[in-house]
Every structure is written in structure tokens, then in C-alpha cells.
Amino acid sequence: MEINGLPLHVLVVHAAVVLTPIAGLAAIAYALVPRWRDWLRWPVAVAVVAAVGAVWVAFLSGGDFRDTDRFAGATGEFATKLQDHEDLGGILRWVASGFGVLTLAAVALHDRTGVVRILLSAVVVATAVATVVLTVMTGDSGAQAVWGT
């Protein structure tokens, strides 16, 4: 799919690369700073849904983009870099989805305290960090495939 002659993937990856770290950092703040929790509850929920949606659209549009004639003759180092990017994108979509589900669960269980709050906070922080790291790795691998020397 294209928008004004540009492949959708090329456009939507920017949303994923920007929104996902913002959602991750907001979720970490939500989990670790109790006095901000009430204020961050709904912005985190919206940010996580938008980020996970952007990751999925980037993944799906990337598959369509990869299937175009533009990449039919990809060989050598370029093909290897492209495959690395595709593999990381496949992992990212599931890690981001897990992050989204766990963060939305933490938001839904907002009033919980004690061990439940500690466990929710721990899994939100862990999945947020994993999602942000994978987002950076996936974006970098795509940029290296296209722009690297």
C-alpha cells in the first residue's frame, strides 16, 4: 500500500519509532513513581494502545513492502540486513503486544496495592525496557539495511 507514492511502511515506521519509546518511558514512570500514577493512568493507556498499533501496522506493512518487486533481487549483505530487520520486527510485535497487555492490566488494576502492585510494576518496567530496546534495534537494523554502507 502506498500513500502519495510512498510505501505505507516508510511512513508508519516513524510513528512506531517515536510512540513506542514514549509509551515505554511513560509506563515506567507510571510503574515507579506512585505520586504520578493517578495523573499518568489514562495517558499511558492511550500511548500504549497507539504504540502497539503502530508497531503492528509497521510490521504488516513491512511484510507487504518486502513482497514488492523492489526487493525481489535482494542478495548478499543487503538481503542479510533486510532479513535481520524482518526478524527483529517479528519479535518486536509480540514483545510490544505483551507490554501493551500487561500495561493495560496494570492500569485496569490501578487501585491494587501490596504484592500485586509490586508485581505489576515489575512486569511493566521489564516489558517496557524490552520493548524500547527492541524498537531501537529494529529501527536501527532497518536504517542499516537502507542507509548503511
Residues 30-58: tens digit of each pLDDT? 999 999 999 999 999 999 999 999 999 99
Q: Which of 22, 82, 30 is nearest to 55 (CA)?
A: 22
On whether the CB atoms of residues 92 and 60 are closer than 8 A, the answer is: no
Written as tens digits, the pLDDT of the chain (149 aa) is 878 888 899 899 999 999 999 999 999 999 999 999 999 999 999 999 999 999 999 999 998 888 888 787 878 888 899 899 999 999 999 999 999 999 999 999 988 889 999 999 999 999 999 999 999 999 999 999 888 75
> Which domains are seen in the chain, by residue range?
2-147 (1.20.120)
